[in-house]
Amino acid sequence: MDALRPVRRSLLRDQAYVAIRDAIVGGDIEPGAVVRDVDLAELLGLSRAPVREALARLADEGLVETKPQSRTRVTPLVAADVRDAAAVVRAMHELAARAAVPRLDPVHIDAMRAANSRFSEAVASGDVAAALDADDAVHDVLVHAGGNRAAAATIARYTPLIRRLERRMFGAGSRCRSVALHDRLIDACAAGDTDAAVRVTTEIWRALEELADDDPGGGRGGRGDAPGDGRTV
């Protein structure tokens, strides 16, 4: 029994954060849905304290919004918010690519190619979750190799805002073009061509800024109260 240690509150908070964030990004908790800490705590098998802490972090990141003494709800998908997040994420990925390319070795390149292969297979099968995970894996190689923790933290903070819309629009054709863009990125990295890698990175992430304008589901809504189905979680 000596190996057992009490689970730290911070760990519970982080677990709650990941679970709720993934449910929001994945669409299991829809935009506009009201969420209550007591219900989430029961579903997650946790006390309310780590769930409240997780919701506070999600509010800071723009995935939920809270009105004091009122309610907490998942933020609606707003085109301007997605574009803003994508612009920031693009800049951080450009920074990461510029720092990473001179540091890459064959192991990094192999990891990127393997991730893009998984991405291609997931796109072909229509597996949204696997495709986005593999997409992240391609770019994470550069983020980690670049070694800029501030850039990595910023990417982690704002990417979920983009992924919500990507999931809804998956299959509209843009994902398939990303397979070829990834190939170009990987080839540039393998050649040690930093400028080319940054250019392709810009092209990939700028397309996500434009994705919000192509959203047929009402992503142009404002930041105020938006129509929803009224469901609570």
Other CB atoms within a 10 A radius of the CB of residue 179 amount to 17
Residue located via tokens 């209550």? 36
Burial of 155 (0-12, 13-18, 19+ CB in 10 A): buried
pTM: 0.81
Q: What is the pLDDT of residue 8?
A: 58
Q: What is the pLDDT of residue 229?
A: 40
Closest CA to 179 of 212, 134, 130: 134
Please determine, looking at this structure, whether the domain spanning 79-214 carries the CATH number 1.20.120.530.
Answer: yes
CATH number for region 9-74? 1.10.10.10
Where are the CATH 1.20.120.530 domain residues in the chain? 79-214
Q: What is the pLDDT of residue 177?
A: 67
Q: What is the pLDDT of residue 175?
A: 58
Strands (E), 42-156: 64-67, 71-74
Q: What is the pLDDT of residue 169?
A: 75
Q: What is the pLDDT of residue 26?
A: 87
Burial 41-78 (b: 16+ CB within 10 A, else e): beebebebebbbbbbebbeebbbbeeeeeeebbbbbbb
Q: What is the pLDDT of residue 68?
A: 74
> Could you report the per-residue pLDDT of 111-131, keeping only the tens digit for each?
999 999 999 999 889 898 899
- What's the rounded Cα separation, in Å, for the pair 226 and 76? 7
Where are the CATH 1.10.10.10 domain residues in the chain? 9-74
> Could you report the per-residue pLDDT of 8-51, keeping only the tens digit for each?
556 888 899 999 999 999 889 999 999 999 999 999 999 999 99
Low-confidence ranges of the chain (pLDDT < 70): 1-10, 171-177, 214-233
